[in-house]
Amino acid sequence: QGSAMAQDYVWCQGIPFPAGGFNPEIIKAAHEKLVLKDEDIITVTYPKSGTHWLIEVLSLIHTKGDPKWIRSVTILDRSPWLESKRGFKFTVERKEGPPLITSHLPIQLFPKSFFTSKAKVIYVIRNPKDVLISGYYFWRFTNLAKKPESLQQYFEWFLQGHVPYGSWFEHVRGWMSMREKENVLILSYEQMKKDPRNMIEKICWFLGKVLEPGELDLVLENSSFQAMKENKMSNIIDVPEELVPASVKITRKGITGDWKNHFTPAQTQAFEETFREKMAGLPPELFSWD
């Protein structure tokens, strides 16, 4: 049930995008023409890596911990996806307001203007085995893109890069090449889980913002998994029900290592082989998970 109306992919420069909400012409325009401003703060991730969590934290840093904004405006409106139909229009037309923007674009499709601007990117990397499991539940139960019929099928698609936004391995490799730039901060989902206070401090330092200890406590408290689960504005409520049913929550489990509850030994071995092959040459400390 539901699969009959599932969307497929649209393609842009060899990368599959969810047909629900995306258009190759707009992605191309975002790449070629979108002008980012020096004050922009862009959350960049491969989908299912903790995007919404980082946006919640950035929103709260912006309001110094006051939850009024996060409780009254949805994530999509607080930090629009620049490559989506709706977010592109918003980003082009915006005049003022909080400079938060989001993108899942691989580096080769990211707005060219970024590379000569002082705009800041925060990239979140997550254990790809958990990204795979999180993605399986998301793409299977929404109608935004091609739906996998089983975990094994999604597993194969993931290793081949035939999933929304293409190959995790290429996405991460591409963005890791920016890791020495002073306007790029790389965070990991696992570090964020282990020490969220430290993550907030790191972000503030990167953005040149100073929060009082009490304000930092409020950011921490209001961006916890539980707080986000209870805040309907942190979930996807502004996309038509036929694309994202209300039963699908961004706040699914919010843990590290859920892959261990799903992967067979054969899948673990196949995954690790692909990982070694595709990520060869990158410093192992970038991948700080079990």
Chain residues binding ligand A3P by CB under 6 A are 45, 47-53, 130, 134, 223-225, 228, 250-254, 258
The backbone torsions φ and ψ at residue 38, rounded to the nearest 5 degrees and listed phi first, read -55, -30
Question: With respect to ligand A3P, which residue has the nearer C-beta, 104 or 120?
Answer: 104
CB of 49 to ligand A3P, least distance (A): 5
Using the 8-state DSSP alphabet, how is residue 4 labeled? G
Query: What span, in angstroms and rounded, lies between the C-alpha atoms of 247 and 168?
Result: 26
The backbone torsions φ and ψ at residue 50, rounded to the nearest 5 degrees and listed phi first, read 115, 25
The two three-digit tokens of residue 269, written as one number:
């071995």
For the CA atoms of 18, 58, 208, 188, the dihedral, rounded to the nearest 10 degrees, stands at: -60
The backbone torsions φ and ψ at residue 227, rounded to the nearest 5 degrees and listed phi first, read -65, -40
CB of 239 to ligand A3P, least distance (A): 13
The backbone torsions φ and ψ at residue 62, rounded to the nearest 5 degrees and listed phi first, read -60, -40
Question: With respect to ligand A3P, which residue has the nearer C-beta, 29 or 186?
Answer: 186
Q: Are the C-beta atoms of residues 187 and 199 closer than 8 Å to each other?
A: yes
CB of 135 to ligand A3P, least distance (A): 8
The two three-digit tokens of residue 21, written as one number:
């909400």
Q: Are the C-beta atoms of residues 165 and 45 closer than 8 Å to each other?
A: no
CB of 116 to ligand A3P, least distance (A): 28
Question: Radius of gyration (Cα) for the chain, nearest Å?
Answer: 18
Q: 104, 162, 171, 262: which one is catalytic? A: 104
CB of 106 to ligand A3P, least distance (A): 15
Question: With respect to ligand A3P, which residue has the nearer C-beta, 112 or 262?
Answer: 262
Question: With respect to ligand A3P, which residue has the nearer C-beta, 23 or 251?
Answer: 251
For the CA atoms of 161, 163, 164, 166, the dihedral, rounded to the nearest 10 degrees, stands at: 0
Q: Is 52 a catalytic residue?
A: no
Question: With respect to ligand A3P, which residue has the nearer C-beta, 53 or 271?
Answer: 53
The two three-digit tokens of residue 144, written as one number:
């935004």
Active site residue ranges: 104
